[in-house]
Chain A
Amino acid sequence: GENVEQHPSTLSVQEGDSAVIKCTYSDSASNYFPWYKQELKKRPQLIIDIRSNVGEKKDQRIAVTLNKTAKHFSLHITETQPEDSAVYFCAASIGGSTLGRLYFGRGTQLTVWP
């Protein structure tokens, strides 16, 4: 099956700085790459996703880039705020089958210091 690796496991930044989280995947057939944010003691929630026919996607302060050749994708958060502090999970999916499923990375604990 697919293997998703996520780095770093922890990240601390000053408010206003940028944060970058990187993920690699193993199966070149993967074609859907979502990012989930989980605040302390809360449920994971989708914040942005990208499909393999797109190289970059942006939503306000959040952007995701995808490099299919290198099999890696990254989450970029600009102008970080304390409320961005959370655990972020990347995931990958091989679509095209009803048996497909998401494979999650192990998560990155982001702390934004005021």
Chain B
Amino acid sequence: NAGVTQTPKFQVLKTGQSMTLQCAQDMNHNSMYWYRQDPGMGLRLIYYSASEGTTDKGEVPNGYNVSRLNKREFSLRLESAAPSQTSVYFCASSQLAGGTDTQYFGPGTRLTVL
């Protein structure tokens, strides 16, 4: 099993450009999450999907949209990138909804917005 995979690994954008970060898991998990990690700020939740067909905002959703394409895939879209979105983005998945079991993280995407 590959676990949780993310593409791309690195990306450089100019202000105003758009892009989609892809995430897939092969563990048949129900819940998926997108976090951003900035120095000294820990892991902040952007959006999550408790189950296929549902999505909910986390604590920092502004400037992002998500799509739970199917049970395996959960994508994050930046419509008009801003320098404040420079960060490392992690996707995660878990078997149970409700945040009460192990979350498995992907390798991360390092995004720089110039």
Q: Is A24 an interface residue (CB 8 A)?
A: no
B42 near A99 with CB under 8 A, answer no
Q: Is A97 an interface residue (CB 8 A)?
A: yes
How distant is the Cα of A94 from the Cα of B99 in the complex, in angstroms?
A: 8
Contacts across chains A and B counted by CB atoms under 8 Å = 63
The main secondary structure of chain A at its interface with chain B is loop
- Chain B contact residue count (CB 8 A cutoff): 25
How distant is the Cα of A34 from the Cα of B107 in the complex, in angstroms?
A: 19
| A109, chain B: closest CB distance, angstroms | 10
| A71, chain B: closest CB distance, angstroms | 18
B99 near A95 with CB under 8 A, answer yes
> Which residues in A have some Cβ–Cβ distance to B below 8 Å?
1, 6, 9, 31-32, 34, 42-46, 49, 89, 93-102, 104-107
Return the 3 tightest CB-CB contacts between A and B, nearest first: A100-B98, A93-B99, A95-B100
